[in-house]
């Protein structure tokens, strides 16, 4: 069926044909990747600024492609979302994350939380909550150990099913965080209506903060507002010591970024945590 499709596409504008074909190829490759276990997770430490050290990690998916090598998520998640494969990839991520928590537990790292990224598309299919609950149960993981990073756009959908799903996840004890905070929408009203516990200040703000006075003011205001609403603030993409110091001075709760650690393979996490204790 694929080669027939190819001939049909050849009829149309060649530029379009090429991008359509690339997409179809990637879709096929993604399906194969699911069948042959080509996905893996890397883990980036999230470090507390109030002396508590590493409290948690964020799981970031990668694709070990047989020809292209390690493919970053920005290159395949959009295709996975359009094709619906994100449901299966997302379920794999949930399972792999819970299995990894159980493995770290066995090594005495039972205080760690793990944040996973959820696509808005995953909320459009029923049963997300029960699939998460089943994985937690299967791997004997307390739901408080799992954090879910969601986007502002999901909350702006004003969808009752989404709102109820978030309420249920919160009631289970799962921590909900808003990812890339500040990039999506200027309306902050929605924050009052959802059970959010954490804001992740987008990397672009952290990057501009040192040079741009207005960005610095914005980050300071986000921290103040978040704390007034009893939300925690995590700053993403911290690469320089001066950024970390400024964020500490602003009262930011946690930081994440290359300055502390790049996302690491699971096997390197216990050693990294050990090295922080020294
Ligand atoms: P994100 O959730 O905002 O993740 C942070 C991204 O910034 C990661 O890129 C991380 O490697 C990178 N990063 C961390 N610290 C620094 C830093 O100090 N400097 C710079 N320049 N970058 C830093 P990554 O792993 O390529 O992920 C890209 C995006 O792909 C993620 O952005 C997230 O939106 C998405 N993604 C990753 N894993 C998943 C997943 O399992 N499911 C879904 N739906 N999306 C995922
Ligand atoms: Ca994230
Ligand atoms: Ca982010
Ligand atoms: Ca991002």
Starting from the CA of residue 59, give the closest ligand.
1
| Ligand 1 atom 11, closest CA | 263
**Predicted local distance difference test score (pLDDT) of residue 188:** 76
DSSP summary character for residue 174: P
Residues contacting residue 136 through CB under 8 Å, at least 6 positions apart:
98, 142, 143, 146
Measure 117 CA to ligand 2 centroid, in angstroms: 5
**Ligand 1 contact via 66 beta carbon (within 6 Å):** no
Q: What is the dihedral of CA 145, 151, 157, 160, to 10 degrees?
A: 0
Starting from the CA of residue 89, give the closest ligand.
1
| Ligand 1 atom 37, closest CA | 60
Biggest CA-to-CA distance, the chain:
65
Query: Which sign does the torsion angle of CA 72, 78, 83, 87 carry?
Result: positive
Under 8 Å between Cβ of 143 and 136: yes
Measure 139 CA to ligand 3 centroid, in angstroms: 27
Q: Which percentage of the chain shows pLDDT scores above 70?
A: 93
Residue 1 has pLDDT above 60, yes or no: no
Ligand 1: which atom is nearest the Cα of residue 238?
18
Residues 262 and 193: their CA atoms lie apart, in Å, by: 34
* Exposed / middle / buried, residue 244 (Cβ in 10 Å: 0-12, 13-18, 19+): buried
Give the pLDDT confidence of 141-174 residue by residue, as tens digits.
Answer: 999 999 999 999 999 888 999 999 999 999 999 9
Measure 214 CA to ligand 2 centroid, in angstroms: 25
Residues 80 and 251: their CA atoms lie apart, in Å, by: 38
Q: Is 86 left (phi over 0), alpha (psi -120 to 50) or beta?
A: alpha
Starting from the CA of residue 180, give the closest ligand.
3
Token pair recorded at residue 100:
């990894």
Give the pLDDT confidence of 55-79 residue by residue, as tens digits.
Answer: 899 999 999 999 999 999 999 999 9
């Amino acid at each position: 069926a694929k080669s027939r499709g190819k001939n049909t596409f050849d009829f149309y504008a060649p530029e379009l044909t090429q991008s359509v074909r690339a997409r179809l190829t990637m879709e096929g490759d993604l399906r194969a990747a699911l069948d042959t276990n080509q996905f893996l997770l890397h883990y980036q430490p999230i470090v507390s600024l109030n002396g508590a050290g590493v409290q948690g990690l964020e799981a970031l998916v990668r694709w070990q492609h047989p020809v292209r090598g390690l493919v970053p998520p920005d290159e395949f998640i959009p295709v996975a979302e359009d094709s619906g494969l994100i449901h299966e990839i997302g379920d794999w991520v949930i399972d792999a994350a819970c299995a990894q928590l159980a493995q770290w537990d066995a090594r005495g790292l039972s205080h760690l939380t793990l944040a996973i990224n959820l696509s808005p598309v995953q909320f459009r299919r029923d049963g997300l909550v029960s699939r998460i609950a089943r994985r937690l149960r299967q791997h004997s993981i307390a739901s408080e150990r799992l954090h879910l990073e969601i986007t502002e756009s999901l909350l702006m959908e004003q969808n009752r099913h989404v709102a109820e799903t978030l309420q249920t996840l919160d009631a289970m004890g799962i921590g909900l965080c808003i990812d890339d905070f500040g990039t999506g929408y200027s309306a902050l009203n929605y924050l009052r209506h959802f059970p959010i516990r954490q804001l992740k200040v987008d990397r672009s703000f952290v990057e501009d903060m040192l040079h741009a006075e207005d960005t610095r003011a914005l980050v300071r205001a986000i921290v103040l507002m978040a704390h007034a609403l009893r939300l925690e603030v995590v700053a993403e993409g911290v690469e320089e010591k001066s950024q970390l110091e400024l964020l500490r001075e602003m009262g930011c709760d946690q930081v994440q970024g290359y300055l502390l650690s790049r996302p690491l393979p699971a096997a390197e996490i216990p050693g990294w945590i050990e090295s922080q204790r020294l």
